[in-house]
Structure formats: structure tokens, C-alpha cells
Amino acid sequence: MTTYTHNGVVRSVCPFDCPDTCGLHVTIQDGRVTGVTGDPDHPVTRGAICNKVRQLPDRVHHPDRLLYPMRRTGPKGSLQFERISWEDAYEEITRRMKSIMNESGAEAILPYSFYGNMGVLNAEGMDRRFFHRLGASKLDRTICNAAGSKGYSYTMGGSIGIDPEETVHTKLFLIWGANLVSTNMHQTMLATEARKQGARIIHIDVHRNRTSSWADEFIHLRPGSDGALALGLMHILIRDGHVKDEFIRDHTVGYDELRSEAAKYSPAVVSELTGIPVEKIEELAHAYGTTTPSFIRIGNGLQHHDNGGMIVRTIACLPALTGQWAEIGGGAMKGNSWYARFNNAAIEREDLLPDPNVRTVNMNQLGDALTSLEPAIRMLFVYNSNPAIVAPDQQKVRDGFMRDDLFTVTHDLFLTDTCKYADIVLPATAHLENLDLYSSYWHHYIQIGKPIMPPAGESKSNFTLFKELALRMGFEPELFDLTEEDMIRIALDSDHNPLLKHVTFDSLMENDWIKAGDGTRYPKTNRLPTPSGRIELYSESMSGAGLPPVATYTPLAEPETYPFLLTSGPNHSYINSTFANQAKLQKLEKRPTLHMHADDASRLQLIDGERVLLRNDRGEVRLTLKIGTDVLPGVLVTQGLWWDDEAEGRSAVNSLTPQRLADMGGGATFFSNRVEVVKIPVIEL
């Protein structure tokens, strides 16, 4: 029997899709959460958390929280629902599943989920096992970092960077296409500590934002041109003798080929491609070639482009040339999920698939999947995600949701824009209401979050939902009638990953967090999980995949001719579309804004604060102009994934973004998005 805290301060873990995965202190008074702060003892959190999660009490006790299952009673999208019991919900879902399976096969059912909750059991545990056993179409979860992770892996063999705790020793930070002040605040805390010891911080971005103000210097470049900059830096490092021959010999393959490629990227050529003045490129290369240790934090934003995989692949080669991987505080990182790899195969049980060749749907192409895939998808099951807002080409997605012959189930804490189109809406617990296991994709600590309060209303966790559905479908109890503890023990099976040998369920219950590792400093650059075991500056596997084998620069695909390139990254106060329904946080963000260069604005006769129309072949969006020099001419930036607001005439920015896939990993191309900007006639305002 779980005993809940009625009054007191208890430890928890932040479950949101953020690299920092903080340790939390949660204050409970009379059974209600009244405050959330950072755990002062957690080695990375160190008592500090972001303002978003300090507002967690408002989310957990939000008056709009879904508390019971509902069934649609009016047309799709009309928000007409009636309360039903879980029994009725399960009966209807299982009946529909069985009849769809009989008529069209299980492939006609598609799960759609991402990391609204990062807990392993709730994000990639019982749910995956259920859909595998069912034989549903598989979902390729590519919406976040697929292109960049693939690109980085070609160079380094996996998501393996240095331990961020080392970066207090770093002397030069290149924050490359990452808005760290908003998206990874504890990396800025570590860098700030390093700065006190003399470190210099350089931000390389298409948008002068909060991170640029915090950094010591800002390098403004054209979207998608980063590969050229990386090659230009290599060109100068080689020209000026700043490469470490011994490291290259012992730890890399393909240096000669890379040197020939870099020879083409003189500072003048790179300046032309990137828009960065030659002197700045020279100065950056000199700093990088002469400062030890140096660290490159590669962000997610710069890989949401057509050429995003190759960009990350190329940047990841830089620290090998300077031998920085050998220095404490030196190297790079795109993500770090390699360290705390759980035994996902054993929890997800893909081997249960009745047909291992069942089709896979790329989540970035949900719009096409729902409107034109054959044989048709007849049931969509959404949890941990809000595709009506976050998925590209939103009108297509919503056209799909509106199909009369599509049965949609959504499971969430709130009636999101996606839930509006559901046939059955199910209430989800907040993470404080269930047990789960967490790892970070940035630091190396593994943590357990315990249930500290009872589920709100009739809400159920994803784990419980899919377990109960499986048992009602008549699936094997020995596979599904498990407790959360059972599954955590399976996930931690250490034969699978020696870096988890000392991490057990019992030790985690006692200690709350344990660091993955075996006392060795990683990555070991001559024992990497690449085919050669070394850093691959030249990659046979890329050649096999039809990609250029040497790190290179590929321009943006640019199949469209609209005059502006729009990037639409996250904002400071929301996490993707999570938190966008909380009044205090909305107030801080004010309204969705469009950053435009002053020259473009004056050419189009637009004024600051004016509302403008952005459009392309896919859709249109209205945004409020902010004119200045935060972006280069021809580039537009907006931030935040806002919910629909019909009163304001607001539709989300993904109305404009393409379903086109990036060069690697089936990744998203949200930021390679061409649009035009039009003045809104006065009558329409």
C-alpha cells in the first residue's frame, strides 16, 4: 500500500522533456502541492530549477485537469463530450480494436507518442509492449533529434559526449545552435562557474536571444550554413598547424580525406556561405585552435533543417582535430543518452510483434499518414504528445483527425488541441502520482520518482492504462500483469550495460539518484561504438547509406521559393506545448512574436508591434512583429508552441512547417521553412 505525504517536503524528479532532469523538492500542505524547488543536494541541480517547474503546483492542481474518461457526443472538434466510466471506455476501445484487427489487421492501428513524460515506464515501457503484442504499425519517433543524433553517431558511434560536470574546467565554450539559457539552464550554471576561472563563452546562432546576451560573444550566421563554418574552422586549424597529429593518428580514421575536403573552405568561401565576416572566422578558429580545454555544446535547433544530420556530423569532427577529447573539460556533446542505456529491448519486447515487418510510420509525416496512407490507419492512440500543435503541416494533421472513419483515443492531463478531435479522451496522472525511473539525456544521474500523492480524480498513468488494456484484450498475464517495480528491475538489468552495474531498484529507492559509470572517463575515443572503434572523419557506413562519407557542407534543400526562412524554436516559459495553458507563464510570454530584420520591415513597410500574416502553400499564421537586428535579413524567428486561440484568431506555427524529412534519421525540418509575410488589411484587423 502506498502511503502519501500529507504535509512535508519530499524528493521527486522533473519528468519533462528537458536535458537537465532535475532533482526536485516538493512541498505538500494538507495533501496539496504548494511549492517546488531544486534539490540542493542533487549534484547537478544544486538547488536551482527553472521558473516553469516552480509553477508545477498550478499544473498539478489546475482546474482544467482531466479527471474522468469522456466520449465524444458531437461532431469532431466540437468539444462535445460526455463523462463515461473506465469500464465503458475500456469496453469501447477493446471492441473497436478487435473489430479493426478483424477487418483490416492490427496494422490499421497507430500509436502516437513522444516524451511529454520522460519516465521510462510511462514513455517507453508498458505502452510499447502493448502495441508490439497487438501488432500495430510502428511509430518512428523522429520529431526531436533524429537527424542530429544520426549525424553525431556517424562520427562518434552514439549519443556520447563528455560528462557535463567536467565543463567547470573548460576554458572555451562554443554554444552552437543551442538556446541554453532557456533549454538547458544547468549547463549555463556550469559554464558560469568556468567563466569565473577565465573561460570564454561564444554563442553561434541565427537568432540573437537570451543565450547570446549571457554569452561573451555572439556569432550570427545564416540558417543551415553551420557545416560550412565548421569546415572553415578546420581549414584554418590545418593551415595554421593547430591540429594534434598524434591524437588524429591514434583515435581517428579518414583524416586525409577530411583535410582535402576542408581545403575547399577558405575563409572567403565560408564568409560568403555563412554571412560571417572573414576576420570573425579567423578569430574564432584561432581561439579554438589555441585554447585548451574547449567544449562544443551542439544544440537541437541547428539540426531541424534539411541538412541537419550533416551539420552535426561535421561539427562533431572538430574536437578530434584539436585532440580535445583527451582533455578534462574538452570535447563535445550533442546528447548523452548512451551512458544510462536501460534494457529497453526487455521492457519494450519488440520480439512480440506478430509480423516483424509490420510497417513503420514516421511521426513527422502524421499528416500524410492520416490522409493518404494505404491501407488506411483506422485507429490512432495518442499519449505523451500533442500532435495537433507540435507536428508539422498541421492542417494535413487536422484534416486526418477529422476523418469520420478514424477512431481516435487520447490520453493526457488536459483537453489539448489534439483531444478536441478524439472519440475517447482518457485522464492521465501527473508524475507525482506514480512511480517511475528517469535518466537524463545530458547528465549521468539515474533517479527514481516515487508517488507522493494519489491520482487526481480517476486519472491513470500510461503504465496502468496499457497494462489494464492488455489484460482486457486477453493478452498473457505473465507479460502484462507486472508492477512498476517489476519493470524497473528489468530495465536496470546490468548485463546489458556495464555502466549500470551498481544501479539497482533497491539502491535507487534508498538514494534517489545514482551516477551511471564505472570510474572510467568516457568517451574512450579508440573504443567507440563506430565500425572502426575510432572517431570516423570518413565513414564507410555513410557511403553505404548513399551519403557523402567525409564530413562536408550540404546547402539547404530549399525546394520552395518564398522569400523568408522561418525558424520556430521553443520559448523560455513553455516546454514544447506543455505549460502553454498556464496563465502565469502565458503572461510572461505575452504573445507569439515574429522577429524580423529592420531592412526587411522597411522594404515591406511594416512597423514594430504590427500584426502580420505569414503564409505558404500549407497554411497561414498571424504574429506580432518585433523589428530589429536580432535576425539577419531574409530570416524570421518566432518562439513557442502556443495552443490555438480562436478568439485571437491564432493558429499554431506548425500550420506552416513542412513534412519533408531531413538528410538523416528521418528527422524533422521544422526550421527549413519558407514563408512570405503580408500586411493585414485594416478592415481585417
Ligand X SMILES: Nc1nc2c(c(=O)[nH]1)N[C@H]1C(S)=C(S)[C@@H](COP(=O)(O)OP(=O)(O)OC[C@H]3O[C@@H](n4cnc5c(=O)[nH]c(N)nc54)[C@H](O)[C@@H]3O)O[C@H]1N2
Q: Which residues bind ligand SF4 (CB under 6 A)?
A: 14, 16, 18, 20-22, 49-50, 52-53, 185
The yes or no reply on residue 575 touching Mo ion (CB under 5 A) is: no
Distances (CA, A) of 99 to 92, 492, 493, 593, 661: 11, 37, 38, 47, 34
Cα 381 to the chain's mean position, in Å?
20
State the minimum distance, in angstroms, from the CB of residue 96 to ligand SF4.
36
Strand partners, 438: 447
Which of 299-307, 328-336, 354-362, 592-600 is the region at the interface with ligand X (rule: CB under 6 A)? 299-307
Is 212:218 a contact under the CB 8 Å cutoff? yes
Cis amide prior to 277 (ω within 30 degrees): no
The yes or no reply on residue 389 touching Mo ion (CB under 5 A) is: no
State the minimum distance, in angstroms, from the CB of residue 188 to ligand SF4.
10
Q: Which does 572 bind (CB under 5 to 8 A by kind): Mo ion, ligand SF4, ligand X, none?
A: ligand X
Q: Which three cell numbers stand for residue 610?
A: 504590427
The Cα 376–Cα 373 span in angstroms is 5
The yes or no reply on residue 578 touching ligand X (CB under 6 A) is: yes
The yes or no reply on residue 484 touching ligand X (CB under 6 A) is: no
Q: Which does 20 bind (CB under 5 to 8 A by kind): ligand SF4, Mo ion, ligand X, none?
A: ligand SF4
In 105-143, which residue ranges form alpha helices assigned H by DSSP?
120-124, 126-134
Q: Which does 22 bind (CB under 5 to 8 A by kind): ligand SF4, Mo ion, ligand X, none?
A: ligand SF4
Q: How many residues does the chain have?
A: 685
Distances (CA, A) of 381 to 58, 135, 424: 27, 14, 10
State the minimum distance, in angstroms, from the CB of residue 589 to ligand SF4.
15
In the complex with ligand X, the residue whose CB is nearer, 302 or 326, is: 302
Q: Which does 578 bind (CB under 5 to 8 A by kind): Mo ion, ligand X, ligand SF4, none?
A: ligand X
Judge residue 260's burial from the number of C-beta atoms within 10 Å of its C-beta, 0-12 exposed, 13-18 middle, 19 or more buried: exposed
- The DSSP annotation for 3-51 comes to ---SSEEEEEE--SS-TT--EEEEEEETTEEEEEEE-TTSTTTTT---H
State the minimum distance, in angstroms, from the CB of residue 114 to Mo ion.
8
Binding residue (CB under 6 A) for ligand X from 21, 55, 117, 371: 117
State the minimum distance, in angstroms, from the CB of residue 22 to ligand X.
12
Phi then psi for residue 510, to 5 deg, are -85, -40
Subset of residues 136 to 175 that bind Mo ion, contact rule: CB under 5 A: 144
In the complex with ligand X, the residue whose CB is nearer, 243 or 428, is: 428
Q: Which three cell numbers stand for residue 331?
A: 570535447
Q: Which three cell numbers stand for residue 432?
A: 507525482
Subset of residues 168 to 207 that bind ligand X, contact rule: CB under 6 A: 176-179, 182-183, 204-207
State the minimum distance, in angstroms, from the CB of residue 671 to Mo ion.
13
- Going 340 to 511 to 123 to 651, the CA torsion angle's sign is negative
The conformation of residue 136, written as its DSSP 8-state character, comes to P
State the minimum distance, in angstroms, from the CB of residue 14 to ligand SF4.
3
Binding residue (CB under 6 A) for ligand X from 568, 586, 651, 669: 568
State the minimum distance, in angstroms, from the CB of residue 573 to ligand X.
7
In the complex with ligand SF4, the residue whose CB is nearer, 20 or 163, is: 20
Is 349:129 a contact under the CB 8 Å cutoff? yes
Distances (CA, A) of 178 to 184, 368, 564, 680: 9, 30, 22, 33
The yes or no reply on residue 139 touching ligand X (CB under 6 A) is: no
At a CB cut-off of 8 Å and minimum separation 6, what does 166 contact?
Answer: 328, 329
Q: Which three cell numbers stand for residue 243?
A: 591540429
The yes or no reply on residue 618 touching ligand X (CB under 6 A) is: no
Cα(first)–Cα(last) distance of the chain, in Å?
59
In the complex with ligand X, the residue whose CB is nearer, 525 or 655, is: 655
State the minimum distance, in angstroms, from the CB of residue 220 to ligand X.
9
**In 3D, which of 439, 673, 428 has the Cα closest to residue 562?**
673
The yes or no reply on residue 385 touching ligand X (CB under 6 A) is: yes
In the complex with ligand X, the residue whose CB is nearer, 209 or 554, is: 209
In the complex with ligand X, the residue whose CB is nearer, 122 or 408, is: 122
Is 597:629 a contact under the CB 8 Å cutoff? yes
The yes or no reply on residue 564 touching ligand X (CB under 6 A) is: no
Binding mask 12-41 for ligand X (x = CB under 6 A): -----xx-----------------------
In the complex with ligand SF4, the residue whose CB is nearer, 570 or 658, is: 570
Subset of residues 438 to 467 that bind ligand X, contact rule: CB under 6 A: 462
In the complex with Mo ion, the residue whose CB is nearer, 271 or 568, is: 568
- How many chain residues are in contact with ligand X, going by CB under 6 A? 58
Q: Please report which helix (H) or strand (E) contains residue 304, including its range.
A: none
The yes or no reply on residue 124 touching ligand X (CB under 6 A) is: no
In the complex with ligand SF4, the residue whose CB is nearer, 25 or 378, is: 25
The strand pair at 23-29 and 331-333 is best described as unpaired
State the minimum distance, in angstroms, from the CB of residue 43 to ligand X.
20
Cis amide prior to 267 (ω within 30 degrees): no
Distances (CA, A) of 487 to 12, 127, 349, 403, 471: 19, 12, 12, 37, 16
The yes or no reply on residue 18 touching Mo ion (CB under 5 A) is: no
State the minimum distance, in angstroms, from the CB of residue 207 to ligand X.
4
State the minimum distance, in angstroms, from the CB of residue 145 to ligand SF4.
16
In the complex with ligand SF4, the residue whose CB is nearer, 39 or 107, is: 39
Q: In what order do the strands lie in the sheet with 436-439?
A: 436-439, 445-449, 513-515
Subset of residues 211 to 270 that bind ligand X, contact rule: CB under 6 A: 221, 223-224, 226
The yes or no reply on residue 668 touching Mo ion (CB under 5 A) is: no
Sites of contact with ligand X (CB under 6 A) = 17-18, 114-117, 122, 143-144, 176-179, 182-183, 204-207, 209, 221, 223-224, 226, 299-302, 305, 383-386, 389-390, 411-414, 416, 428, 462, 567-570, 572, 574-578, 641, 653-654, 657, 670-671
Sites of contact with Mo ion (CB under 5 A) = 144
